[in-house]
């Protein structure tokens, strides 16, 4: 993903294509019109949860908010980087939340599966409990530390080596309530970022 890509412009474009005004989008996404305005004019990036809410209302994915269709092309080449992701060349997916970061374990987000390494800093707690994508499956395998996965109102405490699978349409959140960093591999289909 290019650093210069403007997610706010993409949101505005998708909203306009649906003949939706800013007030309607904000209302349906349960965010303020001011927040949407700041996103669309580029003065804020918004949280992961806010962007997911917007994507859901626009009937798209988080990945599509960060995709520039004008630069997409199908390539058939001997370039290994289109197939292989070396440890030192992982793309970082950055978010405004400093306690949450992801590394892409596949070359891009254009395939049918989202495969990422998620790092949660200690005490990464959120009140947001939302669905991520329509249909499919989400699997999370804990590599380090402990995480708490909340599905609706049921909590699952997972430690290193534990794995969970669920439908990502179920409102959920993933937290690190501990004092040590936690990491897990997340595989989601269809792509939700």
Q: Over the stretch 21-46, which tens digit does the pLDDT of each residue have?
A: 999 999 998 999 998 998 888 887 77
Model confidence band, residue 3 (pLDDT cutoffs 50, 70, 90): very low
pLDDT score recorded for residue 76: 53
Instruction: Report the share of the chain in percent with pLDDT over 90.
Output: 37
Per-residue pLDDT averaged across 143-157, rounded? 96
Q: What is the mean pLDDT of residues 138-164?
A: 97
Strand locations in 54-144 (E):
91-93, 100-104, 114-120, 137-144
Point out the domain boundary residue: 35, 51, 70.
Answer: 70
Looking at the structure, do residues 53 and 104 belong to the same domain, yes or no? Answer: no
**Whole-angstrom distance, CA of residue 54 vs CA of residue 15:** 10
The domain tally of the chain equals 2
Tell me what pLDDT residue 108 has: 79
CA-to-CA distance for 105 and 72, rounded, in angstroms? Answer: 19
- Quick check: 149 and 155 in contact, CB under 8 A? yes
Q: With b meaning 16 or more CB within 10 Å and e meaning fewer, what string describes 88-112? A: eebbebeeeeebbbbbbbbbebeee
pLDDT at 70: 52
End residue of a domain, out of 70, 91, 111? 70
Output the domain CATH number for residue 25. 1.10.260.40
Residue 61 has pLDDT above 60, yes or no: yes
Closest CA to 48 of 116, 113, 108: 116
The answer as to whether 1 is a domain residue is no
Is-contact 1 94, C-beta < 8 A?
A: no
Residue 71 has pLDDT above 60, yes or no: no
Statement to judge: residues 98 and 30 lie in one domain: no
Q: What is the DSSP letter of 90?
A: P
* Beta pairing class for 182-189 and 114-120: antiparallel
Domain that holds residue 33: 7-70
Average pLDDT over residues 57-80: 65
Instruction: Kindly state the average pLDDT of the residues 169-180.
Output: 93
């Amino acid at each position: 993903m290019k650093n210069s890509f403007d997610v706010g412009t993409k949101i505005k474009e998708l909203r306009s294509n649906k003949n939706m005004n800013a007030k309607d989008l904000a209302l349906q996404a349960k965010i303020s019109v001011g927040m949407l305005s700041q996103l669309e004019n580029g003065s804020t990036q918004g949280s992961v949860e806010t962007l997911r809410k917007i994507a859901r209302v626009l009937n798209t994915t988080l990945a599509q908010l960060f995709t520039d269709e004008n630069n997409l092309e199908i390539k058939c080449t001997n370039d290994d980087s289109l197939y292989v992701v070396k440890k030192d060349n992982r793309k970082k997916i950055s978010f405004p939340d400093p306690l949450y970061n992801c590394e892409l374990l596949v070359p891009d987000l254009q395939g049918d599966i989202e495969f990422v390494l998620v790092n949660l800093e200690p005490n990464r707690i959120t009140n947001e409990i939302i669905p991520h994508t329509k249909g499919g499956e989400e699997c999370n395998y804990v590599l380090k530390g402990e995480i708490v996965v909340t599905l609706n109102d049921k909590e699952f405490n997972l430690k290193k080596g534990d794995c969970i699978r669920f439908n990502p349409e179920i409102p959920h959140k993933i937290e690190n309530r501990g004092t040590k960093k936690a990491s897990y591999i997340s595989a989601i289909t269809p792509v939700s970022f």
